[in-house]
Amino acid sequence: MRVGLISDTHGRLRTQVFDELEGVDRILHAGDIGPYDLLVELEAVAPVTAVYGNTDRFDVRERVEEVARLDLAGHRVVVIHGHQLGSPRPDGLRAALPDAGIIVYGHTHQPLVDREQGALVVNPGSAGAPRFGLHPSLAILTLDPEPDIRLVELR
């Protein structure tokens, strides 16, 4: 199973996002979506599970959860934006979400893969406009059967 991980689009979907997500079985969006229609565009690629972030408006918050929990290919996955924890860090996310085998989050705009202890923690970075001197990015998670992650820099 291939899963596209995306976050912090802030209303911007680059053409390259669709190229990189082509063929995935599911997309997980970790918040700060922008207009809800952005999720509709992503649904043309694969089913989307999304959570809202601190910048998402009430119309988005009415349609998506604050935290999403799902089982994918036998893995317990939790998606959260992370603003609930201030500046989220892998150890704090693991402590807050002890039932997760894989945690996908956003908020910091910094791509991160942490396999140190317990749950795999992934931040795909920001797929929206460049911020903080970082290139936009997303990630591809492969569950076959063990999780493998590939960060993708967007141009």
pLDDT tens string 112-139: 999 988 899 999 999 998 888 899 999 9
3-class SS string, the chain: CEEEEECCCCCCCCHHHHHHHCCCCEEEECCCCCCCHHHHHHHCCCCEEEECCCCCCHHHHCCCECEEEEEECCEEEEEECCHHHCCCCHHHHHHHCCCCCEEECCCCCCCEEECCCCCEEEECCCCCCCECCECCEEEEEEECCCEEEEEEECC
pTM of the model: 0.97
pLDDT tens string 59-90: 999 999 999 999 999 999 999 999 999 999 99
Compute the mean pLDDT over every residue in the chain, rounded to the nearest whole number.
96
Query: Which domains, ranges and CATH numbers included, belong to the chain?
Result: 2-153 (3.60.21.10)
